[in-house]
Amino acid sequence: MNVILRIKRYQPETDDASRFQDFEVDVEPADRLLDALMFVKRNIDGTLCFRKSCAHGVCGSDAMTISGVERLACKTLIRDVAEKAGAVVTIEPLKSLPVQRDLMVDYTRFFEFYRVVKPFLVPVQNTASSETVQMPAERARFDDPTKCILCASCYASCPVVAEKDPDFIGPAAIMQAARFVFDSRDEGIGPRLDILDDAHGVWPCENHFQCTRVCPRGIKVTKNINMVKRQIKAFKEQSDQNT
């Protein structure tokens, strides 16, 4: 069936502002939107720019706004966004990040927030053994945030980032922090929680749940943010008792 891809274009050399351009493509309902975009690039307009790498929902590089919702193009089927022939599918870059070209955004700020939370294990100093034993129940505590592929869909969908606090580190950075905050092998919890216990850390989150709705990995993002908030409070109470 034929559908119209209405793509937001911006070529900095020639465009003063972004504009929409329509491309009519012949697709099957089970085709992926990424395949349709690749068809346009290979056969209609080679100047069309977008990122993609794995094409299988693993790398997170092809997140974009598809019919108004943040999604991965490689995990979106035509039938998910086009009910019948002639349907118009609007494709735009992610919101809240500067557009570089067409569907490509500049992730610099997003990854600055990622680095701020120290997204690495600070190992427990274990002199008795070279291994730090972790039980299955302890491992399960941080299983959810390990699924994050840093696609930035949650960040782009967040109304707090868009409308209230552009300095809010955002849901993805908090997921990266949660991955280590709840890891029993990590000893960096104090400094990490200090970073998150900030006016632009976890507290701007207002539980809109947009991040949870759009996450292509099915992470319970809002729930994890609230777990981190509770962990900060518990850690502070414990520290007060110890002093």
Asked if 153 is part of the footprint of ligand SF4 (rule: CB under 6 A), the reply reads yes
The residues in 186-215 that bind ligand SF4, with binding defined as CB under 6 A, are 214-215
Binding residues among 45-84 for ligand FES as defined by CB under 6 A? 52-55, 57-62, 72, 74
Segment interacting with ligand SF4 (CB under 6 A) among 100-108, 146-154, 159-167, 188-196: 146-154
If one asks whether residue 219 binds ligand SF4 (CB under 6 A), the answer comes out as: yes
185 interface partner picked from ligand FES, ligand SF4, none, CB below 5 to 8 A per type:
none
| DSSP states along the chain | -EEEEEEEE--TTT-SS-EEEEEEEE--TTSBHHHHHHHHHHHT-TT-----SSSSSSS-TTEEEETTEEEEGGG-BHHHH--STT-EEEEEPPTTS-EEETTEE--HHHHHHHHHT--S--B---SS-S-----HHHHHTTHHHHT-----HHHHH-HHHHHT-TT--HHHHHHHHHHHHT-TTB--HHHHHHHHSSTTTTTT-----HHHHH-TT---HHHHHHHHHHHHHHHHHHHHHH-
C-alpha span between 205 and 170 (Å, rounded)? 8
Hunting for tokens 């990854």 — which residue is that?
Answer: 111
Exactly one of 93, 171, 188, 201 binds ligand SF4 (CB under 6 A); that residue is 171
The DSSP bridge pattern shows strands 88-92 and 2-9 to be: parallel
Q: Which is nearer to ligand FES, 201 or 216 (CB)?
A: 216
Q: How far is the CB of 15 from ligand SF4 (least distance, A)?
A: 28
> Contact between 150 and ligand SF4 (CB under 6 A)?
yes
Footprint (CB under 6 A) of ligand SF4, residues 17-76? 60
- CB of 52 or CB of 229, closer to ligand FES: 52
User: Binding partner of residue 101 among ligand FES, ligand SF4, none, CB under 5 to 8 Å per kind?
Assistant: none
Q: How far is the CB of 25 from ligand SF4 (least distance, A)?
A: 27
Rounded to the nearest whole angstrom, what is the least distance from the CB of residue 75 to ligand FES in the complex? 7
Residues in touch with ligand SF4 (CB under 6 A)? 60, 148-154, 171-172, 175, 214-217, 219, 221
